[in-house]
Each structure stands twice: as structure tokens, then as C-alpha cells.
Amino acid sequence: MIKKIVTIPNKILRMKSKRIGFVDDSIRQLASDMIETTIDWDHDSEFGAALAAIQVGEPLKLTVVRNDFDDPKNKEFTTLVNPEIVKSSVERVNDIEGCLSVPGIYGRVSRPLRVKVKALDANGSPVRLSLEGFPARVLQHEIDHMNGIIFLDHIDDSSELFNIDKNGSLMPVNQGKKDEIKKSKK
């Protein structure tokens, strides 16, 4: 079932998500609904890379992540329950991020290049992931959501924000919109 994506300034996005004690059918159904919601959101110039449960109003430590970021037609996702970064690199990368809960806005965020993540899969079995580059960025972004943090919180007020045009090109946001967005930051 397609769920409504919660967007700023909704206060639920600032809540800390709860650990999931047991992976059961209700958790698997929520993950399935989140995948369906993400796929439904996809459009011409953009596609959803991942979605945290808090973004559909469920404050649980659960995320679904697209398996192939290079092929938006690939509709396969991985479900991660209680994901946690256990190690991150000192080396950082500054790159553009966006968020389904911050529609149409993008900005440069500095994050560790590499992370090691532990989680449970959709069957409740432990998984460990070593990620680098964009996949590492995606998981850090989703885990931030579980801690009530949105990507805008990592951007200082003097940094440029962007919209995306119908051709998929980034265009600077005007000052009025930038001021409106600042109000959503912690």
C-alpha cells in the first residue's frame, strides 16, 4: 500500500525512531509498503534511493534501500532493520543530497566516504555492510532520519541550495525559498 511521505516542517521528522525488537510480518509489510511508496514517487528526472520508516510516519528503525542506484528501472530494494554505523572513514566527501521529505531541494553535504553498517535483514538475520561512495552516503542519510536529523541540518546557512529543473539540472534556490527552508532546520 502506498503511504503518504511526510515532508518538512512536520515535527515527526525530528523524532528519534525506536529499535525494532522482533522482525515479524508487520515489519515486512511496512517495508513492502515503503518500497511501493518509493517506486510510486519516482519520476522523469529523479528517483528515490531509499526511504526511512519515519518518512511515512512510523518512528521505527527501518529503511529500504534501492539495490541499483544506476538503473531506476530496477525495482529491487534491500530492507535494513535497526541499521547502525559501526565505523566510518576519516576521509570525507562533499556531494549533493536531496530527500523525499524535503521535496525539490538539494544541497552539498559533507559525509564520510566509507562506512561499516550492521543491521538485520527482512528475516531478522544479522547483516554487515561495507559501503563506499554513494551507497555509504545513502545509508548515513537514512540513519540520520532515524535520529531526527535531516540533510539540511548538515548545511550551513551560507551554503547554496538548489532546485532541479525538468531536465534534471540543478538551479540555485532564490533567497525567499532559502529563508523558508532555514526555518525547518534544527
Using DSSP's 3-state secondary structure scheme, residue 128 falls into strand
Q: What is the DSSP string of 41-53?
A: H-BTTB---EEEG
Find the catalytic residue in 36, 46, 142, 160: 142
Residue 97 catalytic? no
E strands, 100-183, are: 102-112, 114-120, 126-132, 161-164, 170-172
Where does 67-101 show beta strands of DSSP type E?
Answer: 77-88, 92-99
Q: Say whether 90 sits in a helix, a strand or coil.
A: coil
The residues annotated as belonging to the active site are 142
